[in-house]
Structures are given as structure tokens and as C-alpha cells.
Chains A and B, each alone.
Chain A
Amino acid sequence: MSKAPDSTPISVSAPHFTENLFAILTETFENTRGVYLDRDTDLFSTLAGLSAEQASREVLGTTVAAQVFHTAFYVRTLERYAEGFTGKTDWNESWTTKSVTEPEWDALKAQLRADYERVTGRLRTVTHWGEDPLDLGMAVAVHSAYHLGAIRQLVKAVGGA
């Protein structure tokens, strides 16, 4: 970053911004490219190979399954708000899943991927980057990064790779 005259308004082209936003979302969820994570430490890579039993093992007061359910819940909730929902969200509901069977674990991982792909698909259709789509894109990236940091600690504790 560098200093510039304060009279110059900030300007970023939409393609420049979206290229970077999607690089961060991709990095966080499915494919690290050295934007801010170490190699293969994205969400889907981290969760792959983890059994339902490992995902359900309570460590440090939580489980990987709980963190994943909450992360997916957040993505869907922000999407609802982006679609015009104005009601309140009971965030306690986002912590109601703690343990999963193998089929439930597969379904939960698939749900997270579907939610991520749907929201990124939605973001790719944005033509005007006002506050709402900016909030959606950046908040999903940041919140998911936060829980990825937690999940990586848990995965090591339960014997994951």
C-alpha cells in the first residue's frame, strides 16, 4: 500500500475485486494457492479423510462436526439475508449438531460444499458491488476462515492429517 492524496477517491474495478474475492473464497474452501494459507489446509481438504467418529469426538469443548454444521449454517443464513430476509436468526440453532454417523457426515460435508458453491455462484452474478454483496462475500470468507482455524486444531487432536 502507498500514500496518495486524500482528494483522490478510492477506485477498484469490479473484475479486479472479484478476482481477488474468489481467490480468497477458493483458498478458504477448496484449493490453497498461497493467498493466506499453507498448502492443502483449506476446508474441504482438511475434512477429507476424517471419519464421522473423529468428527464427532469432543475436544476442547467442541467437535469438528459442530464447527462444520455451524459454518454451513452461517453461509445459508447470510444468503437468506442477501435474498431479502429481515427476520431474526436464532444462532443457537447453528450449534445443534455435535455428532454424526458416517452417512450424516458425508451429507454434512456435501451440504457445506453445496452452500459454498451456491453462494459463490450467486456472487458471480453480482453486477453492482454495493454493501450487501460485499458483506456477503467477505463475511462468508472471514467467518469460514475463523472456523477453519479452529477446525485445524481439532483435526490434529483427533488424529486427522
Chain B
Amino acid sequence: MTEALRSVLLELFAEAYTGPNGPHTWFTDNRPGSGLLGTLGGVRAEDASRPSPTGSTIAGHAEHLRWSLALTNAYVRGENPTPNWAESWTVTTVDAEAWDNLRADLRREYEEVLAALGRQKDVSDPQTLTGILALTPHAAYHLGAIRQRVNAL
């Protein structure tokens, strides 16, 4: 296990954020831009700030994901953060500038995590592998929620 695992993880993680890389998909819609970044790119700040039946907003989901990827990148850099996951849900509404910044930051954090996944060798630490394997189910869960919210717009 091994490079086969890395290949599967990279493919699924990239699909979650950038959508399918061809005619076949594992879980996103079979259209360009069906990943998180493409989906969020088509949403206005006003709509990203509209509350859902669960009370969350698209902006809230995006920030939660950005926060979680930033946490991952902190670990990659060798930092030892003490995360308070409640902080990941402190954004609910955004103006146009904040929305642009959030989406750009999410893309940057995603690209950093993707690069880290591409070079990660040592996964012997129990939390490391758990974190790596959970990245895509976590992203997929929020993408599913966001796409339902987008359908409602």
C-alpha cells in the first residue's frame, strides 16, 4: 500500500474540489465545475449568505472547509495547533469582497493540501492516516449539502 493508495486518494480529493477530470466520476456530477471550487464559483455573495433549513449557509460551509484545510496545512508545516472546531462555523454571511477572498483562500488551502498529499511519505502516525483518509469524505459531505443549497437558489 503505497502509491496505489496515494493515487486513489489524490483522484478522489481532486474530484471533490475541482470536479471530474474526464467523462467518468466517482461521486460528483458529470459536468465540468461540479466540484466545490466550481460550484462555489457560480454563487453570489448574497446567495452564499442565505440560510438553509439547517441554519447553515453556503458561505458557512465554505469557511468550515477552508478552516479544516488550513488546519491540515498547519500540521503539514510541523505546527502543533490546538483546534477549536467551533471556530470553523463562525462565518455565516459574506459581502462580495469577503466572498471572493474566502473562495480564493479555500482554493489556496486545497492546492497546498493536494501538494502535501502528493509528497507525503510517512503515515505511521495514527492521526496522520486518519486525517488523510477523512479529507475527501468530509469534503464530499459538504459538497453534497452545498449542491442541494445551490439547487434551491
Contact = CB atoms under 8 A, between A and B. Distances in A.
Interface in B129-146: 129-134, 136-138, 140-146
A24 B137 contact: yes
A30 B112 CA distance: 32
A47 B146 CA distance: 20
B137 A142 contact: yes
B116 interface: yes
B76 to A, nearest CB: 5
A contact patch SS:
helix
Contact of B2 (A9, A36, A62, A143): A9
Interface stretch (B4-12, B42-50, B93-101, B103-111): B4-12
Which bracket fits the contact residues of A? 35 or more
Contacts of A153: 52-54, 144-145, 148-149
A113 interface: no
Interface string B1-32: 11111111100100010000000001110000
A14 B133 CA distance: 14
Nearest to B75: A1
Given A17-B5, A153-B54, A24 B144 contact: no
A134 B26 CA distance: 13
B145 A149 contact: yes
22 contacts: A1-B120, A1-B123, A5-B121, A10-B5, A11-B1, A12-B5, A16-B123, A16-B124, A16-B129, A20-B133, A28-B137, A62-B151, A130-B4, A134-B5, A139-B26, A139-B27, A142-B26, A146-B27, A149-B140, A150-B144, A153-B149, A156-B53
